[in-house]
Amino acid sequence: MSDATFQYNLRFSPRARNVRLRVSVDRGFEVVVPNGYDTARVPRLLEQKREWIRVALDRAATHRRFFEPKPAWRMPARIHLPAIGKSWDVTSRPKRSSFVTIREVAPNRLVATGPIRNESVSRAALCRWLRRQTRAHLLSRLEQLSQRSRLRYRHAMVRHQKKRWASCSRRRNIALNLRLLFLPREVVDYVIIHELCHTAELNHSRKFWALVSHNCPDYRDHDAQLRAMWKRIPHWA
C-alpha cells in the first residue's frame, strides 16, 4: 500500500496496542496497526512523521548498498551525468605513473591515463573530475535558484558524501554532494531548493515545507524519488 509519498506494507497485529512504524533493510517500510484500526488515519500519521520516515528510509537504502557485492574494478567505459545532460566515452591508456589523469579530448570523449588498474588511484582521479563538473555546473545552478527564490546563502562548497545529498549550516553555508550529478535535473533542483529553504528555516517545520512548496510545487514527488536514487550511483563514484 502507499500514500501520496511513501510506499509501505500495512500489517495488522493482535499484539499491537498502538501504531508502529518500522523500516528495515530486508522488509522495507512497514506500518503495524492493531486489529480493528481505522486505516484511513494512516496517511495523516505518515505526513506527521514524514521527516523521520525519510531519514529512516535513506539510512536503510545506504545500508542495503553497503552490503551489496562489490563488482571487480574496471575504469568505466562511459560516464553519463543526467544532472547536466552530458555523456562521455572513456578511453583508458595504461601508463607508469603515481596518479591517474582524466582529460576531455573532445566534447563527448575522455581519456584516462596512468595506473588505471589501481582502483584507489583511479577512483581518486574520477572523484577529482566529478568535483570539477559539480563546481562548473551545479554551483552555478545553485546561484540561479538562489536568485530566483530570493533565498541567499553565504558560501557554497562541493563534498563527496555517502549519506547526504546536500546540507546547509547555521551560517547559511551550502554543501552539494558531487554524486548529485547522477540524478535527474528536476530532482537536483529540488535538493538545491530544499537546502536554500534551510537558509530561512533551519528545521523541517510546517513553515519550512510551505516555503519548499512555494518554490517547488512538485517537491513531494521529488522527495519520494530520492530514496531510490542511491541505486543510480555507479560503484566507482
Interval 66-92: pLDDT, tens = 566 667 899 999 999 999 999 999 999
Residue 114 CA: distances (Å) to CA of 92, 107, 133 = 8, 21, 21
**Domain identity same for 50 and 164:** no
Determine the pLDDT at residue 64: 67
Name the strand (E) or helix (H) holding 156: strand 155-159
Determine the pLDDT at residue 165: 95
**Domain identity same for 89 and 125:** yes
Using CA of residue 93, residue 98, residue 103, residue 109, what is the dihedral sign? Answer: positive
pTM value is 0.72
2: in domain = no
Name the domain count of the chain: 2
Q: What is the pLDDT of residues 118-145, one digit of tens each?
A: 999 999 999 999 999 999 999 999 999 9
121: in domain = yes
Determine the pLDDT at residue 236: 93
1: in domain = no
Residue 226 CA: distances (Å) to CA of 70, 126, 187, 190, 202 = 22, 23, 7, 10, 20
**Domain identity same for 88 and 158:** yes
**Domain identity same for 91 and 44:** no
**Domain identity same for 165 and 227:** yes
The answer to whether the beta carbons of residues 175 and 192 sit under 8 Å apart is no
**Domain identity same for 210 and 113:** yes
Domain end, chosen from 27, 46, 67, is at 67
Give the max Cα distance, the chain: 70
84: in domain = yes
Instruction: Choose the weakest-confidence range: 13-17, 69-73, 136-140, 196-200.
Output: 69-73
pLDDT above 90 coverage of the chain, percent: 63
| 3-state secondary structure at position 80 | strand
Calpha distance 233→235 (Å, rounded):
6
211: pLDDT strictly greater than 80: yes
195: in domain = yes
Amino acid at position 38, single letter: D
**Domain identity same for 51 and 96:** no
The answer to whether the beta carbons of residues 65 and 47 sit under 8 Å apart is no
**Domain identity same for 182 and 209:** yes
Angle at 210 between CA 207 and CA 211, to 5 degrees: 90
Determine the pLDDT at residue 157: 97
| 3-state secondary structure at position 7 | strand
Domain that residue 108 falls in: 78-232
Name the strand (E) or helix (H) holding 53: helix 50-67
**Domain identity same for 54 and 104:** no
Average pLDDT value over all residues in the chain: 90
8: pLDDT strictly greater than 80: yes
72: in domain = no
**Domain identity same for 131 and 59:** no
Determine the pLDDT at residue 84: 97
Amino acid at position 121, single letter: V
**Domain identity same for 105 and 208:** yes
Task: Give the confidence band of 5 by pLDDT, cuts at 50, 70, 90.
Answer: low
Amino acid at position 88, single letter: W
**Domain identity same for 101 and 203:** yes
Residue 144's CATH number: 3.30.2010.10
